[in-house]
Chain A
């Protein structure tokens, strides 16, 4: 669609490798000023990496970047900024200094590099310039307010204001709408349109397909580090986008399993929290693996935590084996036979400074202690060595500190501790994240084995191929709600992706 104009930004044959992974392979990408370009792809497709290259976050990539036909050298963030390329990362909090005011944050670049030999800050001038920028964007946030007092949406506006406070010709927005409500999103889109009219070229990364059609003109789809399609958005409908995102996936090895679902083990109705979860109803049967599909930010992690009693403001009904219970703390959840294998395992699932053995027995320590809580090291050692053997955890001994294990083995430790606890309902949150192929296969087999022993498993993942491969039934989450319930045998990745990206809602 795009004539080989010499105007605009062009990336040609961009490749970049990190230890162990080839993140980008020969990617071409072009964006024009005064237009919004959608950059789409499943998790791990390389969108963010490509944009980081453009923003100067890496210096070891191969390929060429041209701006208005002239070769540009972008090897560090400064280079990108000098060329008028600004990026607003998804994690707004890491980019803002919460102790400083809105004005200071907007004018941060000038304060860092525009002061020259001057040592004293001219406050009146600073706030005036910041106000000018905000006025231009028609954003009403007082410049003297502290950033720590702002909402997430306001913080994003401040970041965008900072980006356009200096010469901004291209603005990259990395999943800006993921944490926003629909009215906040509408407000953001107004801002995007405004910037577009001013001639800024906008590159827009998002997982929500429907919203692209509101503000984007062009689209590029990436998959597994490659560019797979690039067109005017009007020429590509949602189904086509999904097809490009998924493509022909590598076959993964999933264990053969025959499921024999029994009674309902856990059931929730009109369940929600004081955050994003609304009106969730679902049930898990004994011996059943149920998928919870959804993209990053859809609310899977929040749902798992809420089911486990680790969230505040929980509403709705929860029944275990038919009995209504209230779980206010994870402690209560565990005593009722629940187990959660959290997504952020280093932070939430394991004790890195403790040995493997202590980690494995941590959820069921009472079983390895006598009167007065006196520990029985022999029984503990026996149980943990047995678990190390049966899970195939690669560790010199049960006394090795967990921080010395690889990611996959740490994950096995995080799962193993719940196997020793012998729970009834297992909630897995992205269990294969950062785990190598071999360990993935072990984890799938473990889950199949749990189901065969009559346990219930909720398998939350954004890897749709895994959902299809391992589950019996699937709930699809989008924006804090469950939008579909499907039988795995009757669906496929494409249909799941459509629902995950907010499509198909009649």
Chain B
């Protein structure tokens, strides 16, 4: 919506404007061309599925982060929340023999408390969101570790009592972690959040709070309520991400969600500029995620050693951010 507004204002062509709006999409296209030329089977439907499967969980988590960014917050605890959700959902099946519905329901309920705690601390103590959620990130990570006693939770694992765990992970749960469901769930969530942020008054309010909290307050918006809602949505999506991790690997590994955090942050920030939105947005986050996914996958296909991959990834991220923020300042 605002993209078209900007386009109307400035008929003159500016290279920077163009790069700002289309830089991310252009980079994706360029990457596809490069990898398509230099590897044998990059341009196949199986690679596409592979990439989408790889980015699906990161995208879900990053979409939650996007909502917290929209209100001017920053939820750093999403990775830990995902780890925690993963541990809880698998343990409910394996240790307590719960059914699919109860397992997922209880996990979501418990992890929403995470969002409540984050919002409570951030809103009441007026501490910068990023600092406060940095602290809670450690707390939730610690809770997940303590809960699993630092061990991997899996079917037929040996319990501290010396016996084997008897609970089974429902087969249907495993299906959720495979394509097409994994990818479908991701796309549905991205679209839902996109509609919420752009087509409901609640989303509009969130952007207003993020854009100018003082003015939002003086416009009579219930600012604290919306910030709470944003942290709840962020925690909910991180929890869904964590459950999907469980569904995909059928175990709960130690800190399984933590590595997702940085990729999610990168995806959300790259997404700022997509199509000239100039603010955190769900579709942009998806694009950012796709960019990172293609990059990782292509580099593997090109046999770049895994230890050198982060160099390339970081460089591309720096470039994408440079385009976004250069424009913002000028």
Contact = CB atoms under 8 A, between A and B. Distances in A.
A382 interface: no
A354 interface: yes
Interface in B191-231: 199-202, 204-205, 207-208, 211-212, 214-223
A353 interface: yes
Contacts of B8: 396-397, 399
B219 A375 contact: no
A349 B218 CA distance: 7
Given A352-B212, A400-B5, A363 B204 contact: no
Given A331-B220, A396-B8, A396-B9, A354 B211 contact: yes
Contacts of B216: 351
Given A354-B208, A372-B200, A374-B200, A400 B220 contact: no
20 contacts: A310-B218, A329-B222, A331-B220, A348-B212, A348-B218, A351-B211, A351-B216, A353-B279, A355-B2, A355-B5, A362-B208, A365-B204, A366-B201, A369-B201, A372-B200, A375-B199, A396-B8, A397-B5, A404-B9, A421-B220
Interface string B232-263: 00000000000000000000000000000000
Contact of A401 (B2, B205, B208, B214): B2
A308 interface: yes
A358 interface: yes
A335 interface: yes
Interface of A: 308, 310, 329-331, 333-335, 340, 342, 347-355, 358, 362-363, 365-366, 368-369, 372-375, 396-397, 399-401, 404, 417, 421
A334 B219 contact: yes
Grouping DSSP codes into helix (H, G, I), strand (E, B) and loop, the A interface class, with mixed when no group exceeds half, is mixed
Interface residues of B, number: 29
B1 interface: yes
Nearest to A342: B218
Contact of B218 (A308, A366, A397, A400): A308
Contact of A331 (B1, B199, B211, B222): B222
Most chain A Cβ neighbours within 10 Å, of B199, B200, B201, B218: B218
A351 B199 contact: no
B124 to A, nearest CB: 14
A314 to B, nearest CB: 15
Interface of B: 1-2, 4-6, 8-9, 199-202, 204-205, 207-208, 211-212, 214-223, 278-279
Contacts of B279: 353
* 10 closest A-B pairs by CB: A334-B220, A399-B5, A373-B200, A373-B201, A365-B201, A369-B201, A331-B222, A351-B211, A363-B219, A373-B202
B2 A347 contact: no
Given A308-B218, A329-B222, 18 more contacts: A331-B220, A331-B221, A334-B219, A347-B212, A348-B212, A349-B215, A351-B212, A351-B216, A353-B279, A354-B2, A354-B207, A355-B2, A362-B204, A368-B201, A373-B200, A373-B201, A399-B4, A404-B9
A399 B201 contact: no
B95 to A, nearest CB: 39
B201 A375 contact: yes
Contacts of B1: 355, 399
